[in-house]
Structure 1
Amino acid sequence: MKKLLHTSVAGLLIASAFPAFAASTVDLTVKGLIVPSACTPSLSANTVDVGRVSVKDLNQESRTLLNPSTLTLSVDCEAATLFAMKATDNRTDSSANAGEFGIGKTAAGEPIGGYGLFLDNAVADAVAVQTIVSYNGGTTWFTHYEDDLWQSTSLISIKAIGTASTPIPAKNTLMALSVNPFIHPAKNVTISEDTAIDGLATIEVKYL
């Protein structure tokens, strides 16, 4: 009886491991898109220098806001192209809040502060346009307003004013990029020596 039982169980296991109608092939699809034109992003200045900041000038209990800077961000394409932009924070280990970019750490390993990026006054091919944002890789888009942070997890594109939030192609696009730096409350930052403010972000064009 035991021998018969064991044989029956073994037969069931074999049947489960090898289905009667198992497929003998599997498909692999490789997709993409080769675009006929390339786009180049540029900034009116590649460095924002906040100068020397004295510890005694820092707010003890709240952020110290440093002077903001406004740059011109341009995207120039060889032909009208559907594109989006992504800003990558290269100092993510020192950013304290979602949506803000880091500026390095103290010798004690404390985040120094950060900066927010804001976009405004977008113009594409000499016509005013509206910036739009996607938080899911370009599947859905929403209006991006001038007081909305440009988050490193999002994509930014443009749309015609007064229309649905759908990206439009453009050849030459420019907009104002505001950089708003700050230092964390002095009570949270140990500064016992010269400490570099060292933020670095990369702006990349993504083709849609």
Structure 2
Amino acid sequence: MKKIVAVMTGIFLVVAGFNAQAIDVRVKGFIVPASCSFTLVNAVIDYGTIDPQLLSATNYTTLEAKSTPYNIKCSSGTQLAVTAVDNRAASKIPDMMRRQFDHPVTDRFNFGLGLTAANQKIGGYIMQLLNSTADGRPVLPLYGDGQGRWVGGEGALGQGGHLTSWYSGTMAPVRLTVISGDLQFQAVINKTSELNFKDVARLDGLATLELRYL
């Protein structure tokens, strides 16, 4: 009886195989990286008309600081940093900021202010992210070299792969969805002995700020 059962079972399986149908099942979806937007209330910082008589002939002259609110919004919690490109790098005065300020400011943080009609360098400026709040809590500036090394900083935006981020407690970039604060500009004018004021000298700083996802 066992042999008969085995034979009958085999026949049943073969017959069932001829009636089988195939159905494709597809699994779809998207893995979408977080996207962030960067906005400034005012993307043009105007120093207006500057009287040459108020500038020094022998020293650099620091103008008043100006600032504008900034805001970054991300679609989900994201670690990010800001880096900058100086589109007027040819007008940068080497070592200018280090000589002007008490704390060391290297040329990585120095952005050019353009050239006069006589091809003279007008000056430079630095930019700092200040008073930052991420998702409702205060955060502090953080500097990175792009190799995973981070140290506390003063919020200055740098060039050449320098990253400026934010931290709270642990010395590592925070994961955030919204961050806001002030972007401050500090302009410095060259010695007037290096400038020719026969023509109007137009301050012409231009930088591109970029978000870098970490």
TM-score by length of 2: 0.75
- What residue in structure 2 maps to residue 189 of structure 1? 195
- What residue in structure 1 maps to residue 123 of structure 2? 113
Cα drift, residue 59 of structure 1: 0.8
* Aligned-pair identity (%): 29
Cα distance in 1 for partners of 2:133, 2:41 equals 15
Among candidates 57, 60, 65, match of residue 62 of structure 2 = 65
Q: Which amino acid aligns with 2:191?
A: P
Cα drift, residue 189 of structure 1: 1.4
**Higher-Rg member (1/2):** 2
Cα distance in 1 for partners of 2:62, 2:116 equals 18
Cα distance in 1 for partners of 2:187, 2:163 equals 21
Cα drift, residue 56 of structure 1: 2.4
Tell me whether 1:139 sits opposite 2:157 in the alignment: no
Cα distance in 2 for partners of 1:91, 1:45 equals 20
- What residue in structure 2 maps to residue 205 of structure 1? 211
SS of corresponding position for 2:42: coil
Alignment of 1:2-21 (within 5 A): none
Cα 1:72/1:103, change in 2 over 3 Å = same
Cα drift, residue 35 of structure 1: 5.3
Q: Does the 8 A contact of 1:87 with 1:203 survive in 2?
A: yes
What do residues 65-117 of structure 1 show as CA deviations (whole Å, max 9, x unaligned)? 22211111211111111111112111100111302111101122121001111
Cα 1:115/1:60, change in 2 over 3 Å = same
Structure 1 residue runs of 4 or more that deviate by more than 6 Å after TM superposition: none
Cα distance in 2 for partners of 1:80, 1:59 equals 48
Q: Does the 8 A contact of 2:82 with 2:157 survive in 1?
A: no
Tell me whether 1:175 sits opposite 2:172 in the alignment: no
Q: CA RMSD for the aligned pairs?
A: 1.6
Tell me whether 1:155 sits opposite 2:166 in the alignment: no
SS of corresponding position for 2:90: helix
Cα distance in 2 for partners of 1:40, 1:137 equals 21
Cα drift, residue 55 of structure 1: 2.1
SS of corresponding position for 1:56: helix
Cα 1:203/1:35, change in 2 over 3 Å = farther
> Could you list the runs of 5+ residues in structure 1 that have no partner in the other structure?
1-33
Aligned length, in residue pairs: 170
Among candidates 117, 122, 138, match of residue 132 of structure 2 = 122
